[in-house]
Structure 1
Amino acid sequence: MREEILAYYEQDKEDARLREGAGRLEFWRTQEILRRLLPGAPARVLDVGGGTGVHAEWLAGDGYEVEVVDPVPMHVERAGRLPGVTARQGDARALPAEDAAYDVVLLLGPLYHLPERPDRVRALAEAHRAVRPGGVVVAATINRFAGLNDTLVQGNYFLPERRTRVDEVSADGRHRYSLEDPHFTTAYFADPAEVPGEFTEAGLVCEGRYGVEGVAWLMGGVEEWLDDPEHREAVLAATRRIESEPSLLGASGHLLTTGRRLP
């Protein structure tokens, strides 16, 4: 694992990011999409790059048998303390898993940090190997223009140095680590159109794509809307309505792509 990626996640900000503020939209939408896509519990789930177990926790609460594999030792230690969750250290490109051992394999983070296509395909191929025939693989990607949209919303796009970096990422998807830009680490922002091809190359049949936050994450009042139960349900329903609309897939900050290993 690249040192700058490890250092970024050792700051231990990711768990709180998904449980607080506007990040709750990503968390709740990922949760509701997975609950529709996954087979019923009990089923065996391998959560690759599962971090501190932010999703493993509710999956185990729903009755799934969950194992987290993550390259960050601190993540593994914390996830392993959750009831119903086991955790071990490992790399998405060489999973410590037996063939066809799981009903579901989730990659809700690893593809973010694999800038080279062969590495992404290798991680998906490992998921294909580990999931049973007929089993489900779900992978998350950051959308190509997520950084541009986010910096516009935050007002940072008007800073010349930030604009230059954001425009470079928009051109090729490669977010390059820089000490002058501590907001994120080495990452790849994917064109939604390229993800199904990577699934196919890994041997998976692509079955669906889902924009996680839709356009709601770009609205100035989204954090306050999420605080209000009535407004929150309206936002979630509106985002659900457009989640697979082809013309809007790239507007979302994150995309979930689902595939299946052929029986």
Structure 2
Amino acid sequence: MTIHEELEAHYSERYDEAGRLGSTIKGRLELARVQDLLGRYLPPPPATVADIGGGPGVHSRWLRSLGYDVELLDPVPRHVAHAARAGIDATLGDARELPWEDEEFDAVLLAGPMYHLPDARDRRQALREALRVTKYGGFVATIAINRSANLIGSTLANELIKRRSVVTEILRDGHSPDNERLAHANYHTVAQLRAELCHLGLRGVTIHGLTGPGGWLPVVIDAHYNGLPLPDTLRNPDPLTTALECSRLADNYPELVQTSALLFGIGQRD
């Protein structure tokens, strides 16, 4: 199995994944919330964690700092080299064909595979492989992009008219061949993500709003200010603090999962 050439070009030539989670308010919110949610479910260190589709290793570095034994796998050579330079045990590979033994990890995180495998058969294979390498009683966690995210985000950025055809295809099919924002991308509904995880046979499947309703505040700021100085009303209090508080409050109300651009699904292997 090989990486899709469009996906490799996206991350190797056009997009700096290494800086994404630290360079914008939106990225920092995503990082903080991943840490929030993983912290609820992971067993204490030094448990073993597989970071599948882990990119240049942002989540792996954090997990290692806490004392976890982490192995990263990613299909992009640039990402694997970056992670290895940071001292992470990083392997070039495909989520659909993992190089590890059965029941090797206490927890598995799949981020990129769920939104870079548009074919449902490929996602099922990646999830089966994740389950295979997870110990009984361990957790499989996934990150997916909400299908409504392009509609809301394009509207808030006042780009919906320009992107209408792409947004319409994503809403209808879950992907668009003309999507200029993210190469070879898939978008889930909440029900679809839940069904894929439940079909895997995981126990206690829960879908969280990763960025929640608070995630739309940095979208507006990034779209309309793009590095320009913010007015006082958007600097005090810190918009990241506001977005985090909003998204954490929303965790108490499952019906608000639908408002989140990013979804975090998790379940436990029986």
Q: Provide the TM-score with structure 1 as the length reference.
A: 0.90
- The amino acid of 2:262's aligned partner reads H
Change (3 A) 1:230 1:115: closer
Give yes or no for the alignment of 1:134 onto 2:132.
no
Give yes or no for the alignment of 1:55 onto 2:59.
yes
Give yes or no for the alignment of 1:82 onto 2:94.
no
SS across alignment from 1:78? helix
Residues in 2 aligned to 1:110 and 1:45: alpha-carbon distance in whole angstroms: 16
Q: For residue 206 of structure 1, report the CA deviation from its aligned partner.
A: 4.0
Q: Deviations over 1:30-61 (max 9, x none)?
A: 11111122111111110000000011111111
Give yes or no for the alignment of 1:251 onto 2:259.
yes
SS across alignment from 1:10? helix
Match of 1:149 in 2: 152
Task: Give yes or no for contact 1:125–1:203 (8 Å, CA) kept in 2.
Answer: no
SS across alignment from 1:79? helix
Give yes or no for the alignment of 1:169 onto 2:170.
yes
Query: Among residues 17, 38, 42, which one is paired with 2:42 in the alignment?
Result: 38
SS across alignment from 1:209? strand
Residues in 2 aligned to 1:100 and 1:197: alpha-carbon distance in whole angstroms: 23
Q: For residue 228 of structure 1, report the CA deviation from its aligned partner.
A: 6.0
Identity %: 38
Match of 1:111 in 2: 114
- The amino acid of 1:189's aligned partner reads Y
Task: Give yes or no for contact 1:199–1:206 (8 Å, CA) kept in 2.
Answer: no
Query: Among residues 10, 13, 18, which one is paired with 2:12 in the alignment?
Result: 10
Residues in 2 aligned to 1:226 and 1:75: alpha-carbon distance in whole angstroms: 34
Change (3 A) 1:182 1:204: same
Change (3 A) 1:146 1:231: closer
Residues in 1 aligned to 2:237 and 2:106: alpha-carbon distance in whole angstroms: 34
Residues in 2 aligned to 1:236 and 1:5: alpha-carbon distance in whole angstroms: 30
Match of 1:235 in 2: 243
Task: Give yes or no for contact 1:104–1:135 (8 Å, CA) kept in 2.
Answer: yes
- The amino acid of 1:212's aligned partner reads L
Q: For residue 253 of structure 1, report the CA deviation from its aligned partner.
A: 1.0
Match of 1:202 in 2: 200
Between 1:232-241 and 1:14-23, the stretch displaced more is 232-241
Task: Give yes or no for contact 2:147–2:187 (8 Å, CA) kept in 1.
Answer: yes
Change (3 A) 1:155 1:231: closer
**Structure 1 gaps, min length 5:** none
Task: Give yes or no for contact 2:208–2:254 (8 Å, CA) kept in 1.
Answer: no
Q: For residue 200 of structure 1, report the CA deviation from its aligned partner.
A: 2.4
Q: For residue 231 of structure 1, report the CA deviation from its aligned partner.
A: 5.2
Q: For residue 242 of structure 1, report the CA deviation from its aligned partner.
A: 1.0
Residues in 1 aligned to 2:237 and 2:43: alpha-carbon distance in whole angstroms: 28
- The amino acid of 1:214's aligned partner reads G
Equivalent pairs, count:
256
Change (3 A) 1:40 1:7: same
Q: For residue 113 of structure 1, report the CA deviation from its aligned partner.
A: 1.1
SS across alignment from 1:42? coil
Q: Deviations over 1:15-43 (max 9, x none)?
A: 21211112211111111111122111111
Task: Give yes or no for contact 1:175–1:185 (8 Å, CA) kept in 2.
Answer: no
Q: For residue 237 of structure 1, report the CA deviation from its aligned partner.
A: 2.4
Give yes or no for the alignment of 1:65 onto 2:65.
no
How well do the aligned residues superpose, as a CA RMSD in angstroms? 2.0
Task: Give yes or no for contact 1:210–1:257 (8 Å, CA) kept in 2.
Answer: yes
Residues in 1 aligned to 2:46 and 2:176: alpha-carbon distance in whole angstroms: 38
Task: Give yes or no for contact 1:59–1:66 (8 Å, CA) kept in 2.
Answer: yes
